[in-house]
Amino acid sequence: MSEMGIFRTTVSIENPVRPGELRGLSGVMVDTGSEYTWIPRAVLESIAIEPKRVARFATADGRVLERSVGFANVYAGGTSAPDIVVFADEGDMTLLGARALEGLNLRVDLVSRTLVPAGPVPVASAA
């Protein structure tokens, strides 16, 4: 995986309706090829995050998976943002996905293999 520029980091997950109760996860793979963040079902259930709908996912080997998704606050790289999280089943990877990185306004620094601030967020100007 090092050839693909993927590395691991630490994240915390929080239920938006129960602020302050965080669950930390170390060794979470940063995967810009994954749209959503995948968190073990047991972790999400431990802080009462509820599934909101079922989504379909295509794997790199062509399989199609169905998993529940819900909403959580994601903490990584010194910042936080709300995001969609996947209820990962046993055997699924734990991933920090591209949507979370964008919401956190972080980018991947492949040289240092860390998450770094992405800089000012673009906005339309009225001028």
Average pLDDT of adjacent 10-residue blocks, the chain of 127 residues:
68 97 96 95 98 95 96 98 98 96 95 93 84
Within-domain flag for 66: yes
Give the CATH number, domain containing residue 91.
Answer: 2.40.70.10
CA angle 21-105-48, nearest 5°? 25
What is the helix (H) or strand (E) element at residue 12, kind and residue range? strand 7-14
pTM value surpassing 0.85: yes
In a domain, 84, yes or no: yes
Our count of domains for the chain comes to 1
Three-state DSSP state, 41 = helix
pLDDT of residue 55: 98
Give exposure, 40-55, as e/b (b: 16+ Cβ within 10 Å).
bbebbeeeebeeeeee
Q: Which domain holds residue 99?
A: 2-117
Residue 65 resides in a domain: yes
47 located within any domain:
yes
